[in-house]
Structure 1
Amino acid sequence: MTAAAARRKANREASLIRESALLLAQFEAHAVEDNLQTRGYLLEDRLFVLHGIPILRGFRRNSGAEQIDAAFELDGWQYVVECRWRTKLADIRELDGLYGQLERSGMQTMGLFLSINGWSDNVVPVMKQNHKRIILMEGHDLSTVLRSRSTFAVC
């Protein structure tokens, strides 16, 4: 690696650390935010861009019958994203909605369901049986990414 390439890499890494720290501070500040939409947009707008993953913001498809929170492409796969930042734990019924969207999508489509406050006890066992196309992510995972312990693509 040339000296210039090494400097560019170091600058990118330093920028990622700074931006991640800023987003983490915002994430923690919004934890007490009453406006649920504001919290969701913070995640959708900044998290993926920060890690160099271009994202399609929320849109409707199938003549307006379905609302997609966000979507992105990574390593040749399409991902449909659902973000929930609610007080109660997400349950299997909420995941069924995302699963239905995946069933109406192409074969190279997976789901990412981010539930900041985690999952009810029945979610993981049921997901292991039936919904292998959905990646579960919770607030702790997000915090780990923002603390730069790993990249979003690895999680």
Structure 2
Amino acid sequence: MKTELRVAAYAVCVRDERILLARWVARDGAKRWTLPGGGMDHGEEPVETVVREVEEETGYRAEPVALLGIDSIRRSWLRRLGGPGDFQGLRILYEARVVGGELRNETGGSTDLAAWHPLDAVTALDRVELVDIGLQLWRDRPPLGRSSLTDPANG
């Protein structure tokens, strides 16, 4: 079985009762809102990853101010040229604040739009689960940095 591990870092940027999100474009063309962030490059520190990714996807320079938690997901799939695959994503979530730059959309990347959304309107957005996980971690600040949305003990 082919295994794959992807480590990524994401930012929860909230100001004036609005959250900064980027619209992710899936390989099949589907578009859903997500937290700005993405995969770590080899040798890169997670804090450097989140700063780089926020700037790439939104145009803003961000400063991480708190580690909110770590989320782990696991997915199985059938590989094109063989048997099953097993993917694990380790997602590090930071609270961050905007310290510079200007809002702009990413070009040539995995997102196509960046925007601020009112917190009370997030549930109406077509979004990935990570947005809900990030907001819950930001609101609740669980001591172990684990979201009850993905904790197997709650399922």
Asked whether the two chains share a fold, i.e. TM above 0.5, the reply is no
Larger Rg: 1
**Higher RCO (CA 8 Å, separation ≥ 6 residues):** 2
When the two structures are superposed, what TM-score results if normalisation uses the length of structure 2? 0.25
